[in-house]
Amino acid sequence: MTARYTTHLIIGAGSMGLAAADYLSKSGATSVRVLDAHRPPHDQGAHHGETRLIRLAYGEGSGYVALALRALERWQQLERETGEALLLPCGVVNLGSEASPFIQQVEASARQFDLSLERLGGDAASKRWPGWRLDASLVGAFEPRAGALRVERIVDCWRRRVEADPNITLTTDAQVVELSPLAAGGFEAVCADGRRFGAERVLVAAGQHLAPLLSTLDISLPLTRVRKTFAWFEADARYHHERFPGFSLIDSELGDYYGFPDIDGAGFKIGRHDAGQPLEPGEPMAPFGGHTEDLAELRQIIERYLPGVGALRHGAVCQYIRTPDEDFLIDEPLPGLIVAGGFSGHGFKFASALGEALAAWLEHGEIAPELAAFGRARFAASGR
């Protein structure tokens, strides 16, 4: 089958791929193709489930804060450009013990970047938000500028903008199974149905398929796939988004959790950030309830801390694609071939800024300074 060629090719129309395509559209790029194995927005990647948190005082490391601040600016810009409500500024409270490294890093990030952060004891947090039942063993660090992103609405918004650009072609139902270098430079993507697409410069942001695709070029990427669960529950008026913030909760006994207030009547949403079941790329995920712990591990947090949360409405599954250190993997392993992955668990909030940076890298060959720390060389240096 004859290959179709463009200047830029993006493999994966998830959050990062579509964000990059959107910025290429705004930059005036004239020959771009975006491929996806499905039809975004869909539930086969890591961008479904209605909402994601955006936090600025970052417990995962202060190196992310500048990127988070840039992302917030870009989310607000996207709202202005589209006239759509994409960001709900409900605030986020980070909860844990005084000794929690996560809480300590949240506070250190706030000090370093002069971010607004209110510290509360557990009792004070429970009075502030009566939906919590906390004791003096926990502290809260509240970010008033943080909130919830409406993830599926955002992905759909990006898709519509990209499809409206005559210089960008979004090709769905195109599962790429092989990458190969072209003799004249650039790379060719081969789809399962035999279609071929080539380009001078390629961005691969294909989630669980990233590592298998790069292996066809004899490039090994340290990415693992994990099944995760989250669910929505009935909840009383205390959990309405005007009365209750988003949250992250580190419980030294029960694990690491995140959650959202009741937004638009969807119910109270909670998920577990740690644990999960390892999966191979392409391996089917058991539905919610397929493992005995799916509901039990969410219920244990509700019963301990959230007295007004009631019956399960519905649960869902998703996947994390992670690196060994859980930081992102963004690199150019071969000239003209950019890879972006390992975002799951905390990546979506940065997608607006990462899309901008990846688009500039793809178009101009220049890496943004804030991406330099995410290269794969760090794994060789650590012996992983």
Which residues carry out catalysis?
48, 51-52, 269, 273, 318, 349
Residue pair 194/50 in contact by the 8 Å Cβ criterion? no
Determine which helix (DSSP H) or strand (DSSP E) holds 270, and give its type and residue range.
Answer: strand 268-272
Residue pair 213/205 in contact by the 8 Å Cβ criterion? no
Residue pair 134/140 in contact by the 8 Å Cβ criterion? yes
Determine the Cα–Cα distance for residues 272 and 265; give it in Å rounded to an integer.
22
Task: Provide the edge-to-edge strand list for the sheet that holds 87-88.
Answer: 51-54, 147-150, 87-88
CB atoms closer than 10 angstroms to residue 265:
6
Print burial letters for 294-325: b (CB count within 10 Å at least 16), e (below 16): beebbbbbbeebbebbeebeebbbbbbbbbee
The residue ranges of DSSP E strands in 111-238, in sequence order, are 118-121, 139-143, 147-150, 168-171, 176-181, 187-191, 196-204, 224-235
Determine the Cα–Cα distance for residues 15 and 350; give it in Å rounded to an integer.
10
236, 263, 235: which is closest to 89 by C-alpha?
263
Determine the Cα–Cα distance for residues 70 and 91; give it in Å rounded to an integer.
18
